[in-house]
Amino acid sequence: MNEIVHARNLVKRYGDFTAVNGISFDVHSGECFGLLGPNGAGKTTTTRMIACVSPVTEGELTVDGLDVRREPRRIKSLLGVVPQEDNLDPDLSVRQNLAVYARYFDMPRAVADERIDESLALFQLQDKQHQTIWALSTGLKRRLAIARGLINQPKILVLDEPTTGLDPQARHLVWQKLRYLRSQGVTMLLCTHYMEEASHLCDRLVIMHQGRILVEGTPDALVEEHAGREVAELHLRGPQREKVLARLAARPGLTVEEVEDILYVYARTADGRADMAELAPESERVVYRHANLEDVFLRLTGRGLVE
């Protein structure tokens, strides 16, 4: 079966609050699929429903063809879950953490030992294998959490904000490992509010906002379609701002988003930068850059990344 996760009109309500509001998507075998959006968009709730720890209110949700309502144990034996919160066993060693977790999957000791050796090597944790968890850095803990999620050789690895709270070096190391896993054909579902992470790792993604899916596509296509190529960030105040906005309205090739004291000007054409440069002199500060997923989000929601 090519579809590992299949969701149709999926709804999750907590009392009067609707956390997930009728979303549909598929995750295909071998791809890294992203759920991108701000905190509170419904990403974690979606992964909790996939992991069978949050009952589905309405809609259809299957994992590897199995219904989450009917076969939670079988689904959970096929999943690898890397949660956002650190829930490693703090009193056990690195190696014991993996061994105890393997036991939950009824894995024979010899098989578990072999896999633990492999994943300690892959995640560069051999030297630390007898250390207690509380002595590890955040980056090492996160690598161990990913290794733990892979111990049962899952059909799909579900990662919830895998690099939140990591310093840049540790983050890049995690990304490198995830890229390696992707190259090995591991199917991944990645939740992140971090646009750069999504464009780095995802083959396909959806952008979520307030429990709904806004768009779906590859990162490049989404940027191209919704934000164009070039962006100018103009820092402007008062009357200057009004003047520039008036001028912008007269130029069909440019669109603008206002966020606080910054104007984001988007150009779709190849010579967009020249067009935008004429606006620049009156601005306190101008930054030119390529458009990215953050711009897509901004364009679609018309506001900043707030909760």
Tell me which of 103, 179, 243, 289 binds other proteins, using CB under 8 A.
103
Identity of the amino acid at 139: G
Count of residues that bind other proteins according to CB under 8 A: 30
Please tell me whether residue 49 binds other proteins under the rule CB under 8 A: no
Instruction: Report the residue number, 106 or 260, with the smaller CB distance to other proteins.
Output: 106
Name the burial class of residue 286, with classes exposed (0-12), middle (13-18) and buried (19+) by CB atoms within 10 angstroms of its CB: middle
Closer to other proteins at the Cβ: 88 or 201?
A: 88
User: CA-CA distances (angstroms) from residue 162 to 28, 39, 118, 157, 197?
Assistant: 20, 14, 21, 11, 9
What is the spatial distance between Cα 87 and Cα 103, in angstroms, rounded to a whole number? 17
Q: Does 109 bind other proteins (CB under 8 A)?
A: no
Asked if residue 135 binds other proteins (CB under 8 A), the reply is no
Identified binder of other proteins from the candidate list 16, 17, 85, 169, rule CB under 8 A: 85
The DSSP symbol for 218 reads -
Strand positions, DSSP E, 146-305: 156-160, 188-192, 204-209, 212-217, 230-235, 254-259, 262-267, 285-290
d(CA 233, CA 137): 37
Tell me: does residue 105 bind other proteins (CB under 8 A).
Answer: yes
Q: Is 20 left (phi over 0), alpha (psi -120 to 50) or beta?
A: beta
Is the CB of 104 or the CB of 180 nearer to other proteins? 104
| Candidate residues 6, 40, 67, 92; the one interacting with other proteins per rule CB under 8 A | 92
Among 1, 104, 124, 221, binds other proteins (CB under 8 A): 104
Q: Does 146 bind other proteins (CB under 8 A)?
A: no
**Residue 51 binding other proteins, by CB under 8 A:** yes
**Residue closest to 192 by CA, chosen among 168, 169, 165:** 165
Footprint of other proteins on this chain (CB under 8 A)? 14, 51, 53-55, 72-74, 76-77, 79, 81, 83, 85-93, 96, 100-101, 103-106, 152
